[in-house]
């Protein structure tokens, strides 16, 4: 198993190599911006899905809606640059909310981030697979299978280490950026010069709604759908510790670069879609339609589709970098299992990576890998964490009164106000479309985290050693050995038992009278002084009579005496042979471990490989 693990994820890395796992700005942009950049591929399409049913006139509002979203993006970029400067240790919304607003708001922010990262993987992979099936419609029936395969590949790559994952993801990210910029440039060039462009296909959804006028409610829904373009903005602030020094400055520069790229890509795609009168289609993405109209189905079209699919799938990698880190911080505070705070063989938080993969794979199966089913769940948690983070930063500046604190309060306060308004819009417009699941789920997760923390606190109190505590040393050890037959394994256990105590009792549950008699005969020959207790079991149960006997022994045992159960076990030479034998010892250990305050131990007896002569005799 160790050899197989090393083959898949590589050999373990020394702690001293952690400093070399830090990312440059070029690689960090690919790793931490892939989520936000990939949102460009479907944000415009989500706006058009809301507007198209009202008719062609409604599609003209897509560009103003995109403009408002970009203003909100600018406010969030400025706000998170302040967060990076104030919290270079990372953690993002969870740490900011916990430190400045209290533990419950911190847990709400943490729960929102947990949901956000799980949905990011599911949505990104589903959208990437949608880009593949747009180019190759014959793969549509295999959407879920392809999605699960992509999650498996992402998990393995990330288990191999941060730097190795960054190297894999850098090239596809930059290919996507430059090919999409080239497509936008081609569209603007052809539109400006009036060059012929084939008409966009008319989707039946266009004008299918009975309304003939645009309402504020429809605009709010379109705006909230387009806000998926802002998901992933907080990723860089969460992952500051993974940047090379000076990490805060490098992270802030990377965040600014990401914002500028999103402005050009999201604004450009929306402008071209409106210019070409592209309408959403369930079987072909908006970007695929734009590329086909402007360049045809040539090499550039397939390069763009391949890079779009790659960036959408790799966008999930943002979560693979941030989810384990945030989860480790929550684990260190004692709100999730402690195992998530430890780094694995490749200096990454392996347990967090595996948990994220399993949870997102479950979502993909439940929602059939459909982006439109997943997106209503997506943005609510994102903007809740945005809002709590910005409010927390306002409180931070007010308390610290650092240089420029008034300006910082205005910047973060403005960001908090805008993200809070968007959160309200998202909660109302998407409530019946699935957002209610997230709204209900966040309090449940918070309650679970509080329950886990209470358990850790209670356990710590019970295990704490006070200064005046006295320890009782057992004056006598009563050893009990369950025995099925008389073998070398049993003899090995009895010899060990006699070496630590002069009070040893062997117990045999009688299921077969002849077998019991043979055992008794051999026992009297080899261990005539050691007590053998025979217990009849008319109902052929092994555990119940043994537990009843142990209860009787426990009642007669003094407080200064210790009961020890020694279980004879043999270990086969080949690992697969172990499963060919009765695992009654394992069952007995499990039952006793969770029900009795005994010392329970296995005495292993390793079997060597049979020699050829012995094999020949057995065969004869």
Sheet holding 476-482, edge to edge: 531-536, 504-510, 476-482, 561-571, 599-606
Q: Which residue has the tokens 């309060």?
A: 409
Contact 92, 237 (CB under 8 A): yes
Q: Measure the CA–CA gap between 389 and 105, rounded to whole angstroms.
A: 10
Instruction: Report phi then psi at 559, rounded to 5.
Output: -65, -25
Q: What is the pLDDT of residues 261-290, one digit of tens each?
A: 999 999 999 999 888 888 888 778 888 888
> For the residues 352-373, what does the mean pLDDT come to?
83
Answer yes or no: is pLDDT of 20 > 50.
Answer: no
Task: Supply the pLDDT for residue 358.
Answer: 92
pLDDT tens-place string over residues 417-427: 888 888 888 77
Say if residue 38's pLDDT is above 80: no
Whose CA is closest to 73, among 106, 33, 105, 46? 33
Residues 6+ apart with CB under 8 A from 106: 94, 95, 97, 98, 99
Q: What secondary structure letter does DSSP report for 281?
A: B
Query: For residues 63 and 292, is the Cβ–Cβ distance under 8 A?
Result: no
- The H-or-E segment that residue 602 falls in is strand 599-606
CATH number corresponding to 28-456 = 1.20.1740.10
Q: Residue 373: its pLDDT value, please?
A: 66
User: CA angle, 323 as apex, 322 and 324 as ends, to 5°?
Assistant: 95
Q: Is the pLDDT of residue 615 over 60?
A: no
Tokens of 362: 């479950």
Residue 224's pLDDT is 79
Neighbours of 605 (CB within 10 A): 16
**Position 503 pLDDT exceeds 80:** yes
What pLDDT sits at residue 538?
79
Most confident of 57-66, 204-213, 493-502: 493-502
Structure-model confidence comparison of residues 346 and 114, the more confident one: 114
Return the structure tokens found at 388. 């709590």
User: Which residues does residue 600 pair with via DSSP β-bridges, in sequence order?
Assistant: 565
Query: At what angle are helices 316-332 and 350-366 packed, to 10 degrees?
Result: 120
The 10 Å Cβ neighbour count of residue 395 is 17
> In which residue are the tokens 């306002």 written?
394
Q: Which region among 244-253, 307-316, 400-409, 604-613 has the lowest average model confidence (pLDDT)?
A: 604-613
Q: What is the pLDDT of residues 363-387, one digit of tens each?
A: 888 887 776 666 666 667 778 888 8
Taking 90 as the threshold, does the pLDDT of residue 350 lie above it? no
Angle between helices 286-295 and 299-314 (to 10 degrees): 160
Q: Dump pLDDT digits (tens) for 565-591.
A: 999 988 887 777 777 776 677 788 888
pLDDT at 613 over 60: no
Q: Which two tokens stand for residue 598?
A: 């005994």
What are the residues whose beta carbons fall under 8 Å from the beta carbon of 97, sequence distance 6 or more? 105, 106, 108, 109, 110, 388, 389, 391, 392
CA atoms within 13 A on the CB side of 227: 31
The pTM of the whole model exceeds 0.85: no
Q: Please tell me the predicted confidence (pLDDT) of residue 44.
A: 87
More confident residue, 32 or 186: 186
Q: Name the residue with higher pLDDT: 129 or 517.
A: 517
Residue carrying the six token digits 């407080």: 559
CATH architecture, domain defined by 476-619: 3-Layer(aba) Sandwich (3.40)
512-522 average pLDDT score: 89
Q: Sketch the domain layout of the chain as residue ranges.
A: 28-456, 476-619
Instruction: Give the integer Cα–Cα distance in Å for 304 and 183.
Output: 9
Q: Which of 190-194, 343-347, 389-393, 435-439 has the lowest mean pLDDT?
A: 343-347
Cβ pair 340, 355 in contact under 8 A: yes
For the record, the structure tokens of 185 come out as 């440039």
Does pLDDT of 34 surpass 80? no
Digit-coded pLDDT (tens) for 451-491: 999 998 998 888 888 777 777 777 788 999 999 888 898 99
Is the pLDDT score of 18 beyond 60? Answer: no
- Is the pLDDT reported for residue 185 higher than 90? yes
Short-list 183, 181, 115, 198, CA closest to 438:
115
- Distances 610 to 279, 582, 613 between C-alpha atoms, Å: 73, 20, 8
pLDDT band at 204 (very low <50, low <70, confident <90, very high): low
Residue 242 has phi, psi (to 5 degrees) of -90, 0
Percentage of residues in the chain with pLDDT exceeding 90? 14
Radius of gyration of the CA atoms of the chain, in A: 32
Average pLDDT, the chain: 82
> Count of CB atoms within 10 A of residue 498's CB?
15
Give the ranges where 162-315 is alpha helix by DSSP (H): 162-193, 216-226, 235-238, 247-275, 286-295, 299-314
What is the C-alpha to C-alpha distance for residues 24 and 284, in angstroms, rounded to an integer? 36
């Amino acid at each position: 198993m160790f050899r197989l693990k090393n083959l898949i994820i590589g050999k373990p890395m020394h702690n001293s190599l952690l400093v070399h796992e830090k990312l440059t700005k070029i690689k960090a942009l690919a790793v931490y911006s892939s989520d936000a950049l990939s949102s460009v591929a479907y944000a415009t399409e989500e706006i058009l899905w809301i507007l198209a049913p009202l008719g062609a006139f409604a599609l003209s509002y897509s560009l103003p809606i995109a403009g408002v979203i970009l203003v909100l993006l600018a406010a969030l970029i400025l706000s998170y640059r302040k967060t990076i400067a104030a919290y270079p240790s990372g953690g993002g919304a969870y740490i900011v909310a916990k430190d400045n607003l209290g533990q419950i708001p911190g847990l709400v922010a943490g729960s929102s981030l947990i949901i956000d990262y799980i949905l990011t993987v599911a949505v990104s992979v589903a959208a990437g697979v949608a880009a593949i099936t747009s180019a190759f419609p014959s793969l549509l029936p295999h959407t879920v299978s392809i999605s699960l395969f992509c999650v498996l590949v992402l998990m393995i790559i990330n288990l191999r280490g941060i730097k190795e994952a960054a190297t894999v993801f850098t090239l596809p990210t930059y290919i996507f950026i430059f090919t999409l910029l080239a497509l936008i440039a081609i569209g603007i060039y052809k539109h400006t010069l009036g060059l012929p462009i084939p008409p966009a296909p008319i989707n039946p959804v266009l004008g299918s709604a009975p309304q003939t006028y645009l309402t504020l409610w429809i605009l709010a829904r379109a705006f909230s759908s387009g806000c998926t373009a802002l998901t992933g903005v907080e990723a860089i602030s969460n992952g500051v510790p993974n940047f090379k020094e000076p990490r805060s400055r490098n992270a802030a520069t990377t965040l600014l670069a990401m914002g500028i790229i999103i402005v050009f890509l999201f604004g450009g795609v929306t402008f071209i879609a409106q210019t070409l009168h592209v309408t959403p289609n369930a079987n072909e993405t908006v970007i695929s339609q734009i590329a086909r109209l402007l360049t045809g189905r040539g090499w550039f079209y397939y390069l763009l589709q391949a890079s779009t699919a790659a960036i959408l799938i790799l966008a999930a990698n943002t979560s693979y970098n941030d989810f384990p880190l945030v989860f480790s911080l929550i684990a260190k505070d004692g709100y999730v299992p402690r195992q998530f705070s430890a780094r694995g063989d490749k200096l990454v938080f392996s347990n967090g990576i595996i948990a994220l993969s399993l949870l997102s794979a479950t979502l993909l199966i439940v929602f059939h890998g459909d982006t439109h089913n997943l997106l209503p769940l997506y943005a609510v948690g994102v903007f809740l964490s945005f809002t709590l983070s910005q409010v927390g930063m306002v409180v931070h500046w007010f308390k610290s009164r650092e240089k420029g604190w008034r300006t910082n309060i205005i910047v973060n306060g403005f960001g908090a106000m805008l993200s809070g308004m968007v959160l309200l819009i998202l909660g109302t417009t998407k409530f019946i479309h699935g957002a209610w699941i997230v709204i209900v789920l966040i309090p449940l997760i918070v309650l679970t985290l509080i329950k886990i923390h209470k358990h850790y606190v209670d356990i710590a109190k019970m295990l704490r050693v006070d200064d005046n505590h006295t320890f009782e040393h057992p004056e006598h050890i009563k050893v009990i050995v369950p025995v099925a037959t008389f073998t070398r394994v049993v003899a090995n256990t009895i010899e060990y038992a006699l070496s630590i105590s002069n009070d040893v009792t062997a117990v045999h549950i009688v299921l077969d009278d002849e077998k019991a008699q043979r055992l008794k005969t051999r026992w009297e020959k080899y261990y005539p002084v050691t007590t053998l207790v025979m217990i009849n079991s008319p109902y052929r149960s092994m555990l119940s009579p043994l537990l009843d006997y142990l209860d009787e022994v426990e009642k007669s045992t003094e407080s200064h005496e210790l009961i020890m159960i020694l279980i004879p076990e043999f270990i086969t030479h080949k690992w697969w042979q172990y499963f060919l034998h009765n695992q009654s010892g394992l069952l007995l250990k499990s039952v006793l471990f969770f029900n009795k305050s005994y010392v329970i131990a296995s005495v292993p007896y390793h079997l060597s490989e049979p020699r050829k002569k012995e094999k020949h005799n057995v065969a004869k």
